[in-house]
Amino acid sequence: MNAPAASALLKQHLIDPVICIRCNTCEETCPIKAISHDSRNYVVDPEICNGCGACLSPCPTGSIDNWRTVPKAQAWTLADQLGWDELPEELAIADAGMPAETADADGFAPPPLDSARGSTIAPASAATPTINLYTIRQPALATVAGNVRVTATESDSDTHHIVLDFGSLPFPVLEGQSIGIIPPGTDGRGRPHHARQYSIASPRDGERPKYNNLSLTVKRVLVDHAGQPVRGVASNYVCDLAKGDQVKVIGPFGSSFLMPDDPKANLLMICTGTGAAPMRGMTERRRRRMQDGDGRLMLFFGARSQAELPYFGPLSKLPSAFIDINLAFSRAPGQPRTYVQDLLRERAADIAGLLGSDQTHIYVCGLKGMEDGVLDALRQAADQHGLDWTALHARLKAEGRLHLETY
């Protein structure tokens, strides 16, 4: 059999279903809509993917960075990929007449596109994160050390603060990273549930210093995006955990949404609902370890009402000299609907002051829908105060100073 010409080969882009935490980042990042998903797997269309690499660095786990050299005619279809529990082995291209190492396959040509709206790298001074220490095949076992509701009992939003203890198992994390929880049981097709990702809400030295633990902020899902009743598998499992229960955990994940290890850095934190989790971790890190620097902390936090705002009580106790807190309530009785971006506009002069400083790092976490509004409000603040937002936005991204994590 004659060797296939290099042009008959494809370096096929694939996503590893064992490591993928189904966070949707790749699908959102792909500039040409080559990535899609079903209830189980994220997959790459070989007919569309041009190997541009835009999706690679935003992926928190590295599951996106998998490639197999295949004859183009034998590329794995979307149906093949949706059925996988794990990636297939690399094909022995020699079987098709060409040694794999000499194959010059298509698929990598263009350089990565700069399509991301936020940074894909960490701040220069951030500590080095550990990722993928525990996997679906080898999860860590954590014990529930606490589970308390952090929204008012009269509100419909049942949000919990869960503390997981790893005992003697090493589980090093940084503020802004996330973990995956594997719910017990199987899905509708009889396969084990895939892991769900949650941001860590505590600082690197633990929810309780000197204990090997971390915390999460999880809202019980009882309706889907269309408002139809649904019982979220993982969120209900996590919110119902009792002290002493054991939980399978994978991760940690995330290597860019990290805080600067620099007390002079300003942190502009903008979040909605449970998107407050990483802001809590970063704020607590600054409170415990870095109060001596002159960096400013400014928080914009949105919820439907005070009763639905996670951690309202503890937040109200933080001194204003330490953190400048701005709460936006969208459904407070008798008040106009206010979103975080409305408050950013109200505080435009202070925001512009922060934007003008090279020490400022911006973090946005929460609902996907807030991204446009928040970036618009930042642009307006810059425009009103003589800053060139287009140039500034590019610089913030390139310097690892603008981080967006929205779902």
41 counts as binding ligand NAP under rule CB under 6 A = no
330 binds ligand NAP (CB under 6 A): yes
| Of 147, 199, 256, 360, the one binding ligand NAP by CB under 6 A | 199
Q: For ligand NAP, which is the closer residue by CB, 52 or 328? A: 328
Helix axes 348-355, 370-384, angle to 10 degrees: 80
Our finding on whether 302 is near ligand NAP (CB under 6 A) is yes
Task: Work out whether strand 159-165 and strand 213-219 pair parallel, antiparallel, or are unpaired.
Answer: antiparallel
Min dist. Cβ of residue 47 to ligand NAP (A): 31
Within 10 Å of residue 229's Cβ, how many Cβ atoms?
Answer: 7
Is residue 224 close enough to count as binding ligand NAP by CB under 6 A?
no
- Residue number, 191 or 368, with CB nearest to ligand NAP: 368
Give the residue with the Cβ less far from ligand NAP, 57 or 330.
330
Binding of residue 257 to ligand NAP (CB under 6 A): no
Residue 96 or 150: the one with the smaller Cβ distance to ligand NAP is: 150
Closer Cβ to ligand NAP, 14 or 404, answer by number = 404
Task: Determine the residue with CB nearest ligand NAP.
Answer: 273
Closest approach of Cβ 75 to ligand NAP, in Å?
A: 33
Binding track, positions 265-284, relative to ligand NAP; x by CB under 6 A = -------xxxx-x-------
Q: Is 331 in the site for ligand NAP (CB under 6 A)?
A: yes
If the CB atoms of residues 81 and 235 are measured against ligand NAP, the closer one turns out to be 235
Shorter beta-carbon distance to ligand NAP: residue 76 or 257? 257
Residues 338-377 that bind ligand NAP (CB under 6 A): 339-341, 365-367, 369-370, 373
Q: How many residues of this chain interact with ligand NAP, rule: CB under 6 A?
A: 28
Interatomic CA distance for residues 220 and 160, integer angstroms: 8
Binding piece for ligand NAP, criterion CB under 6 A, among 6-14, 236-244, 255-263, 334-342: 334-342
Compute the least distance from the CB of residue 279 to ligand NAP, in Å: 10
Q: Which is nearer to ligand NAP, 76 or 339 (CB)?
A: 339
Task: Yes or no: say if 15 and 30 are a contact pair by the CB < 8 Å rule.
Answer: no
CA 52 – CA 37 distance, rounded (Å) = 19
The residues of the shown chain that bind ligand NAP, judged by CB under 6 A, are 157, 198-199, 217-219, 272-275, 277, 302-304, 308, 330-331, 339-341, 365-367, 369-370, 373, 405, 407
